[in-house]
Amino acid sequence: MSAQKPAQQDEDPLEMLVGGLSVWVGKLNEIVRKVVDETPIRNIINWGRIYSMWPVNITTACCSAEFGAASGARHDLERFGVLPIGSLRQSDLIVVEGTVTKKMAKRLRMIYDQMAIPRYVIAMGDCAISGGLFHDSYSIVNGAHEFMPVDVYVPGCPPRPEALEQAIIMLQEKIRHSKVYSQG
């Protein structure tokens, strides 16, 4: 075989520098991830995430009445840091409140895609778990897990506000025991 000419003879030195730098940045990223996940920094970041879970204002069906009751004065989800907020970009939590029709599933997925990572999903009510009363209907999605990953399921038709509080606490426990970069 004839000797091939080296291709990098006229390479830009700046590109070489950037390439080498990006390798180092990648290694630095790995080091940062390792340090964050294996030291108490993880607990601090998770602590911040646990007590500022802001849900999206999206309602698909009647379980939203129970969500409203849970947000109200008697049950007061805000003591767990759950504060309904208007902006999707600032939200961390999406509570699928009830029946998900096929038309609404598209919109829910769109909202889920717009939220910033980390993002958590609670499927509230029997309809969001399996379709419930409307299982196998012509217009209903059989559960929210068919189009988005679900963290906590809350059974009930509708669930009591206490059940939703329990789900919030379970989600907080889940966040507390998980790594920083693998959430959402």
Partner 1 sequence: MSAPLEREETIIKKLKEQFPSDIKASRIIRRSRPEITVAPEKIQEITTFLRDQLGFDHANGVSGVDYNREARFEIVYHTSSLNNKEMRDLVLAVKESTPRNAPKVPSLVSIWPGVENFERETFEMYAIQFDGHPHMEKLFLLDNWDGPPPLRKDVRVPTD
Q: In the bound complex, what is the minimum distance in angstroms from residue 158's beta carbon to partner 1?
A: 24
**DSSP type of residue 140:** B
Contact between 43 and partner 1 by CB under 8 A: the answer reads no
Q: Cα separation of 183 and 118, whole Å?
A: 6
Q: In the bound complex, what is the minimum distance in angstroms from residue 22's beta carbon to partner 1?
A: 44
- Between the alpha carbon of residue 24 and those of residues 18, 20, 31, 32, 116, the distances in Å are 10, 7, 10, 12, 27
Number of residues that bind partner 1 (CB under 8 A): 7
Contact between 179 and partner 1 by CB under 8 A: the answer reads no
Contact between 12 and partner 1 by CB under 8 A: the answer reads no
Q: In the bound complex, what is the minimum distance in angstroms from residue 126's beta carbon to partner 1?
A: 18
Between residue 94 and residue 123, which ones bind partner 1 under the rule CB under 8 A? 102-103
DSSP characters over 51-105: TT-PBB----STTHHHHHHHHSTTT-GGGGT---BS-STT--EEEEES--BHHHH
Between residue 120 and residue 159, which ones bind partner 1 under the rule CB under 8 A? 136-139, 142
Question: Closer CB to partner 1, residue 90 or residue 137?
Answer: 137
Residues that bind partner 1 (CB under 8 A): 102-103, 136-139, 142
